[in-house]
Structure 1
Amino acid sequence: MTAVTGAALLGMTGCSPGDITEDSSETTGAKPSDEVLAGVDPCGLLSDEELKSFGLETRGEPRSELPWAPGCYYAGEPVTARLEKNTRQTVASSEKRSVWASFDRTQVNGRAAASAVPNGATEARACVLMFDAGQGLIQVQTQEIRLPDDVDECAKALEIAEKVEPNVPEPA
């Protein structure tokens, strides 16, 4: 089950490096984003108490499939979660990508945000909630790992994102 979860979360990260770097107009140099988001550690965005309140383990596992999108994976029940900072995308640029089965604009504590389901993840019961931070974005990816299918993954991602948001820089 863990391998399936990891593969699904990897798929939500950006599907493949080619998908993210294809649109060079949106990735015209990550240096400013790197500076603004440099101090953001995806494994340090939530306290142990907050992690426990979401049913997540307090020890996150750093995972960086893409150099510009380091993340931290948390096993948990009823969902697993991955917190990720992305220095090459924003909510607006992410909306233009063709990797989403659905992409719905929303807000997280007043910030531009979106709730998205990656292509192929509708059956995997997974959701990505992203919001602008610095000159990039923060993603909260959740996936329900067990039946029955009674958890709203996007609602759970929004709950987590609302706790993460105060701990990251304002959009630049």
Structure 2
Amino acid sequence: MVAAGVGAALLGVAGCGPGGLAGDESGDAAGETSTAKPSGEVLAGVDPCNMLSESELKSSGLQGPGEKADTLSWREGCNYDGDPASLTLLKDTRQTVDSAEKKDTWAKFERTEVNGRAAATAVTEGSTQAQICNVMFDAGQGLIQIQAQEAGRSDSLDECAKALEIAKKVEPNVPEPA
């Protein structure tokens, strides 16, 4: 079930950001190269399987340790089983909330904040019936995405509220937006 959710999330935000490939330096109008750190460097020390402490996992109804998700090289992830929801934490070094919003795969994309950071709650077209919700927020020169999927089919869980709850716990543990 978690693997299906990761696939839906990858479809939702796959692709290059507007600045090209991660690690590319962008030039200004005069042709000069910027000296900003590539997003991969800013987020290099962030491990999705270590964004939450054991006590944060337990208090959120998640079981640790997490299991590395099968994702793309610029999009590392970690899966957690839990009750009432399973969860995937993703680190994306090619997207920001602004660039993710431009994707045409969203059935729902609503701007919000996570502890003061630019964020969004989003559901992909393919996930509207699967009870999967994503919350993403800017970190470094990329984003962190929390995907919650209801473990059962009781309709008693607000997946977006659960993802936002976890996002608020993760946010202090990742770099500020660059």
| Both proteins in one fold, TM over 0.5 | yes
Unpaired segments ≥5 residues, structure 1: none
Alignment RMSD (CA, Å): 1.4
Identity %: 56
- Asked if residue 93 in structure 1 is aligned to residue 113 in structure 2, the reply is no
TM-fit CA distance, 1:9: 2.2
2:160 to 151, 154, 165: 154
**TM-score, structure 2 length as denominator?**
0.88
Unpaired segments ≥5 residues, structure 2: 24-37
Asked if 2 retains the 8 angstrom alpha-carbon contact of 1:133 and 1:169, the reply is: yes
- Counterpart residue number, 1:7: 4
- Asked if residue 136 in structure 1 is aligned to residue 142 in structure 2, the reply is yes
Asked if 2 retains the 8 angstrom alpha-carbon contact of 1:103 and 1:117, the reply is: yes
TM-fit CA distance, 1:130: 0.1
User: Which protein is bigger by CA-based radius of gyration?
Assistant: 2
- Asked if residue 84 in structure 1 is aligned to residue 84 in structure 2, the reply is no
- Counterpart residue number, 2:119: 113
- Counterpart residue number, 1:41: 47
- Give CA deviations for 1:110-130 in whole Å, capped at 9, x if unaligned: 000000011121111010000
Aligned to 1:70, the other structure's residue is in SS state strand
CA distance in 1, matches of 2:100, 2:124: 11
1:54 to 60, 66, 70: 60
User: Could you tell me which amino acid in structure 1 is paired with residue 131 of structure 2?
Assistant: R
Runs of 4+ more than 3 Å apart: none
Asked if 2 retains the 8 angstrom alpha-carbon contact of 1:27 and 1:89, the reply is: no
CA distance in 2, matches of 1:65, 1:121: 18
Asked if 1 retains the 8 angstrom alpha-carbon contact of 2:12 and 2:103, the reply is: no
Aligned to 1:20, the other structure's residue is in SS state coil
